[in-house]
Structure 1
Amino acid sequence: MRVVSGIQPTGDLHLGNLLGAILRWVRMQDEAECLYFLADLHSLSEYIEPDVRRSSIREMAAALFASGIDPSKSILFAQSAVPEHAELCWILNGTARMGWLNRMTQWKDKAGKNREGASVALFDYPVLQAADILLYRATHVPVGEDQKQHIELTRDIALKFNTDFDVDLFTPPEPFIGGGAAARIMSLRDGRSKMSKSDPSEMSRIHLTDDDDAIAQKVRKAKTDPDPLPEDPTLLEPRPETKNLVGIYGAVTGETVEQVLARFAGQGFGEFKPALADALISLLGPLRSRLEEFRRDPDELDRILLSGAERARELAAPTLAEAYRAVGLK
């Protein structure tokens, strides 16, 4: 089993990134052969200042290592350091179809009504994503609900390429369900919106770099309702902010929603919020300290990323060479 996954190197990582993806990556290391990449080529779909992009790559790498990604267990690298990603993407552009890409919901959502002003990279994003996966002949890809369509497209591209050129080169990947459930963390100010760094309110999210006082303050001021916590999980459905805080507590402690409610049922947020703040501080405090250590040694970060890129290229090169041969190129 080989698992491939990527994450865009954006700054200001928050609790949603950690509980929604990164800690699942950490657990996956013990279940499969894992390649993780910082998707800096994907970040070209929107304009970002070059210096900001460079610093964000290191910052993301530091956060991943601080969270528990182990370079002795996994391969971690910057996507742009493995040019085979871009080369295979261009080859697969001959296989992918405009109709397929036009139907991608992420393209529709991100481009909105300004499709004529959106970048070609945003439109072609799913083909590069397919190349990211097929380049390593990944058998499985961890995905959330919003990414299932991308995996289906990757499978379509793989099967069409193999059929068109009469080869058995690409492995149509399957969704990876290991690593435990990925938590869907919502805004502390609006339980119906995902936690996001683009939210104008700093109180909507908890950054991995927030100190203990900031964490406690944000939890204390998180939006709730006046009712105590229920015993029945189904009663959380009409209470999105309450459901979010209970979900965060469970994701941090490893407990199910049922277990959290069994402990706090009947109690108000005056009791629950301090317990949640303590749990978050226990999780993020050590991580924050490790993050600072990695930040102080950017040369070591670069060295680990370069080593990861070299290992990734060893796996990628044979696949790309076979793809060139299949289409009649050298």
Structure 2
Amino acid sequence: MTAPKPVTRPTRILSGVQPSGKLHLGNYFGAIRQHIALQNTGECFYFIADYHSMTTLQDPTARLANTRDVALDYLALGLDPNKATFYRQSDVPEVCELAWIFSTVCNMGLLERAVSYKDKLDKGLEPNVGLFSYPVLMAADILILRSHLVPVGKDQVQHIEITRDLADRFNRVYNREIFPLPEYRLDAESRIPGTDGEKMSKSYGNTIEIFAEGKPLSKTVMGIVTDSAKLEDPKNPETCTVFALYSLFATPLEREQLADRYRAGGMGYGEAKKALLGQIEAYFEEAREKRKSLVRDPGYVEEVLRVGAKKAREVAKVTLELVREATGFIARPVV
């Protein structure tokens, strides 16, 4: 008699993006592009982290607008709601209850060692409790769906390690194997330079927006900081922000040709910036037109988020009931 084959479950992939401003090339190449690709390889859940945005953004009107912009951007860039579950974090309230429960098994030292918190304080952000406990809410986002794989940038790797620690602590404290220990996945292009050469970030004010066009886009690209080399001087493509950004869009042959022109001299940075501008405009042209179409159909976008939240809550409710049972709370129906 042949032994039955073990039941295999699809890898559950989860990631989120904060609606704290316009999405930019760093978001796209560091996260969104791989999110879109992964929707064909596993069971994907992607959420708009509107609760997380409260640590730095207190304007409710701006948050609503930013949340809608993120939804439009993802759908325009290729997220397929038939393949991936797409939802707002605030539409899954079970996340907040789990975050509180995790906070009771999380020691202070674990959060005090979080590099991201220290970095944000160094940038002048107010040291509020939400900012300090950000990794706990992030752990709840991931573990409420019992996710296995979390695509993140390098700056979020420590948060995944904290998530694993909290999952393991909860399982040991309550002697239940409820939570898996999720792994992180880094994209090859997890650090994208901004217009000043530093990491592209809204907090640095050095971003190139994905859906910028016309004069605003041209002004941003032409304003990229370069060195003082003269037109006739040879230039080093490996240390140039313009070339680094151009390489994200160009074919290997285009990249090689531009590098040769840099080294040969006789080409100014202005010409290189115009080449980059052309690449950006061509790359996002189709998505830009799709986004304009989605703007005219707000009901569709809202329906995608509503259906996504319903699917996410179905999973979240099961997880939370397991947690409530393990922690000694009376099981009760979740509305």
The TM-score with structure 1 as length reference comes to: 0.86
Decide whether the 8 Å contact of 1:212 with 1:281 is kept in 2.
no
CA distance in 1, matches of 2:89, 2:155: 22
Decide whether the 8 Å contact of 1:183 with 1:247 is kept in 2.
no
Q: Does 1:222 align with 2:224?
A: yes
User: Kindly tell me: are residues 53 and 277 of structure 1, through their superposed partners in 2, closer, same or farther at Cα, counting changes over 3 Å?
Assistant: same
User: Kindly tell me: are residues 96 and 251 of structure 1, through their superposed partners in 2, closer, same or farther at Cα, counting changes over 3 Å?
Assistant: same
Map of 2:180 onto structure 1: 171
Map of 1:182 onto structure 2: 189
Map of 1:155 onto structure 2: 164
CA distance in 1, matches of 2:60, 2:214: 32
Offset at 1:182?
A: 3.0
CA distance in 2, matches of 1:320, 1:35: 17
Counterpart residue type for residue 298 of structure 2: P
Counterpart residue type for residue 259 of structure 2: F
CA distance in 2, matches of 1:81, 1:51: 17
Offset at 1:211?
A: 1.7
Range 221-230 or range 59-68, more displaced: 221-230
Decide whether the 8 Å contact of 2:193 with 2:244 is kept in 1.
no
Offset at 1:217?
A: 4.1
Map of 1:245 onto structure 2: 242
Query: 79, 83, 88: which is aligned to 2:89?
Result: 79
Query: 113, 125, 131: which is aligned to 1:122?
Result: 131
1:1-330 to structure 2, matched below 5 A, reads 1-112=11-122, 118-177=127-186, 180-188=187-195, 190-191=196-197, 193-199=198-204, 204-225=206-227, 226=229, 227-230=233-236, 236=238, 239=239, 242=240, 244-253=241-250, 255=252, 260-261=255-256, 264-267=259-262, 268=267, 269=269, 271-330=271-330
Map of 2:4 onto structure 1: none
CA distance in 1, matches of 2:164, 2:190: 26
Decide whether the 8 Å contact of 1:183 with 1:251 is kept in 2.
no
SS in structure 1 of the partner of residue 106 of structure 2: coil
User: Kindly tell me: are residues 263 and 207 of structure 1, through their superposed partners in 2, closer, same or farther at Cα, counting changes over 3 Å?
Assistant: closer
Range 16-25 or range 142-151, more displaced: 16-25
Identity across the alignment (%)? 38
Map of 2:7 onto structure 1: none
Offset at 1:185?
A: 1.9
SS in structure 2 of the partner of residue 34 of structure 1: strand
Counterpart residue type for residue 162 of structure 1: N
SS in structure 1 of the partner of residue 47 of structure 2: strand
Decide whether the 8 Å contact of 2:153 with 2:190 is kept in 1.
no
Matched pairs, number: 311
| Residue-by-residue CA offset, 1:47-97 (whole Å, 9 max, x unaligned) | 421121112111110011111111011011000001111111111111111
User: Kindly tell me: are residues 327 and 287 of structure 1, through their superposed partners in 2, closer, same or farther at Cα, counting changes over 3 Å?
Assistant: same
User: Kindly tell me: are residues 113 and 209 of structure 1, through their superposed partners in 2, closer, same or farther at Cα, counting changes over 3 Å?
Assistant: closer
**Structure 1: gaps (5+ residues):** none
Decide whether the 8 Å contact of 2:242 with 2:272 is kept in 1.
no
Offset at 1:324?
A: 0.7
SS in structure 1 of the partner of residue 86 of structure 2: strand
Q: Which has the larger radius of gyration?
A: 2
Counterpart residue type for residue 109 of structure 2: G
SS in structure 2 of the partner of residue 265 of structure 1: helix
CA distance in 1, matches of 2:218, 2:130: 40
- RMSD value over aligned CA atoms? 2.3
Offset at 1:143?
A: 2.0
User: Kindly tell me: are residues 114 and 187 of structure 1, through their superposed partners in 2, closer, same or farther at Cα, counting changes over 3 Å?
Assistant: closer
Decide whether the 8 Å contact of 1:15 with 1:185 is kept in 2.
yes
Range 15-24 or range 144-153, more displaced: 15-24
